[in-house]
Structure 1
Amino acid sequence: MSQPKLLIIDDDTILGLMMQNIARPLNIEARYTSDALQFFAVLEQWQPDVVVLDLVMPGMDGVQLIQELARRRCRARLIITSGVSPRVLEAAQRSAVENGLSIAGMLPKPFTPDDLLSLLVPLESEPADNALARHRSPLQGLKADRIDLGRALDRRELSVAYQPKICYRTGAVIGVEALARWVHPELGMVPPDHFIVLAEQHNLIHPLSRQIFEQALDWLAGLEPEYGGRLMLSINLSALLLSDAGLPDWLSQAVESRGLSTERVILELTETCATQDVGGSLEMLTRLRMRGFQLSIDDFGTGYSSLLQLTRMPFSELKIDKSFVMSAMASHESRVIIESIIDLGHNLKLEITAEGVEDDATLRYLCQAGCELLQGYYVSRPLPAEQAAQWLREYRPDRNHWPARAG
Structure 2
Amino acid sequence: MGDRRLLILDDDPMTGETIQRIAEFAGLEVYFTPDPDRFFALLHDWQPTHIALDLVMPTMDGMEVMARLAKLSCRAKIIITSGVGSRVLDAAGRSAAEHGLDIAGVLAKPFSPPQLREMLLGQISTAPPPPTVAIAPSEPPEITLTDLHRALDRQEFVLAYQPKVLCTTGELAGVEALVRWAHPSYGLLPPGRFIPLAESCDLIDPITDQVIDQALAWFGSLCVGATQLSPTTRDRLMLSVNISARTLTNSALFERVRERCEAHRVDPTRLIFELTETSAMDDPVASLDLLTRLRMIGFHLSIDDFGTGFSSMLQLVRLPFSEIKVDKSFVMTAMTSPESRTVVKFIVDLGHSLGLRCTAEGVEDAEILDYLNHIGCDLAQGYHIARPLSGQDFWPWLASRTYTIIRP
Instruction: Give the TM-score, by structure 1 length.
Output: 0.88
Q: C-alpha displacement at 1:65, in angstroms?
A: 2.1
Give the direction of change, closer, same or farther, for the CA distance of 1:239–1:74 in structure 2 (3 Å limit): farther
Matched, 1:61 2:67: no
Matched, 1:405 2:381: no
Q: Deviations over 1:68-99 (max 9, x none)?
A: 33444544443211111212111212222343
Q: For residue 375 of structure 1, what is the amino acid of its counterpart?
A: Q
Measured on the aligned residues, the alpha-carbon RMSD in Å equals 2.7
2:230 corresponds to which residue?
none
Q: For residue 63 of structure 2, what is the amino acid of its counterpart?
A: V
Q: Deviations over 1:330-379 (max 9, x none)?
A: 11111111111111111100001111111222112111111121111122
For 2:348 and 2:362, the matched residues in 1 are separated by 15
For 2:368 and 2:168, the matched residues in 1 are separated by 15
Q: For residue 347 of structure 1, what is the amino acid of its counterpart?
A: S
1:202 corresponds to which residue?
201
Give the direction of change, closer, same or farther, for the CA distance of 1:7–1:100 in structure 2 (3 Å limit): same
Give the direction of change, closer, same or farther, for the CA distance of 1:370–1:55 in structure 2 (3 Å limit): same
* Secondary structure in structure 2 of the residue aligned to 1:305: coil
Give the direction of change, closer, same or farther, for the CA distance of 1:5–1:388 in structure 2 (3 Å limit): farther
Range that drifts further, 380-389 or 348-357: 380-389
Aligned counterpart for 2:324 among listed residues 295, 318, 323 = 318
2:279 corresponds to which residue?
273
For 1:240 and 1:103, the matched residues in 2 are separated by 33
Is the 2:6–2:28 contact (alpha carbons within 8 Å) kept by the matching residues of 1? yes
Q: For residue 405 of structure 1, what is the amino acid of its counterpart?
A: I
1:331 corresponds to which residue?
337
Q: For residue 322 of structure 2, what is the amino acid of its counterpart?
A: S
Is the 1:49–1:128 contact (alpha carbons within 8 Å) kept by the matching residues of 2? no
* Secondary structure in structure 2 of the residue aligned to 1:84: coil
For 1:46 and 1:266, the matched residues in 2 are separated by 44
Is the 2:128–2:386 contact (alpha carbons within 8 Å) kept by the matching residues of 1? no
Give the direction of change, closer, same or farther, for the CA distance of 1:126–1:4 in structure 2 (3 Å limit): farther
For 2:114 and 2:63, the matched residues in 1 are separated by 26
Unaligned runs of 5+ in 2: 227-233
For 2:117 and 2:279, the matched residues in 1 are separated by 40
Q: For residue 56 of structure 1, what is the amino acid of its counterpart?
A: V
* Secondary structure in structure 2 of the residue aligned to 1:171: coil
Aligned counterpart for 2:389 among listed residues 368, 379, 383 = 383
Matched, 1:82 2:82: yes
1:401 corresponds to which residue?
none
Give the direction of change, closer, same or farther, for the CA distance of 1:38–1:350 in structure 2 (3 Å limit): same
2:229 corresponds to which residue?
none
Unaligned runs of 5+ in 1: 399-403
Give the direction of change, closer, same or farther, for the CA distance of 1:244–1:73 in structure 2 (3 Å limit): farther
Q: For residue 219 of structure 1, what is the amino acid of its counterpart?
A: W
Please show how residues 72-111 of structure 1 align to structure 2 within 5 Å.
72-111=72-111
For 1:331 and 1:124, the matched residues in 2 are separated by 21
Please show how residues 224-235 of structure 1 align to structure 2 within 5 Å.
224-227=223-226, 228-235=234-241
Q: C-alpha displacement at 1:120, in angstroms?
A: 1.5
Q: Identity of aligned pairs, percent? A: 49
Please show how residues 2-21 of structure 1 align to structure 2 within 5 Å.
3-20=3-20
Q: C-alpha displacement at 1:21, in angstroms?
A: 5.3
* Secondary structure in structure 2 of the residue aligned to 1:118: helix
Q: C-alpha displacement at 1:200, in angstroms?
A: 1.8
Give the direction of change, closer, same or farther, for the CA distance of 1:406–1:314 in structure 2 (3 Å limit): closer
Please show how residues 5-404 of structure 1 align to structure 2 within 5 Å.
5-20=5-20, 22-23=22-23, 28=28, 30-43=30-43, 48-126=48-126, 130-131=130-131, 135-137=135-137, 140-146=138-144, 147-227=146-226, 228-398=234-404
Q: C-alpha displacement at 1:285, in angstroms?
A: 0.9
Give the direction of change, closer, same or farther, for the CA distance of 1:78–1:200 in structure 2 (3 Å limit): farther
For 1:78 and 1:379, the matched residues in 2 are separated by 20
Q: For residue 406 of structure 2, what is the amino acid of its counterpart?
A: R
* Secondary structure in structure 2 of the residue aligned to 1:246: helix
Give the direction of change, closer, same or farther, for the CA distance of 1:318–1:124 in structure 2 (3 Å limit): closer
Q: Deviations over 1:82-137 (max 9, x none)?
A: 11121211121222234343322111122233222101214545479745695445
Q: For residue 78 of structure 2, what is the amino acid of its counterpart?
A: L
Give the direction of change, closer, same or farther, for the CA distance of 1:113–1:150 in structure 2 (3 Å limit): farther
For 2:221 and 2:77, the matched residues in 1 are separated by 34
Q: For residue 350 of structure 2, what is the amino acid of its counterpart?
A: L
For 2:235 and 2:165, the matched residues in 1 are separated by 16
* Secondary structure in structure 2 of the residue aligned to 1:405: coil
Q: C-alpha displacement at 1:183, in angstroms?
A: 4.4
Range that drifts further, 367-376 or 27-36: 27-36
Is the 1:263–1:294 contact (alpha carbons within 8 Å) kept by the matching residues of 2? yes
For 2:279 and 2:374, the matched residues in 1 are separated by 30
Q: C-alpha displacement at 1:31, in angstroms?
A: 4.2
Instruction: Give the TM-score, by structure 2 length.
Output: 0.88
Q: Matched residue pairs, number?
A: 400
* Secondary structure in structure 2 of the residue aligned to 1:162: strand
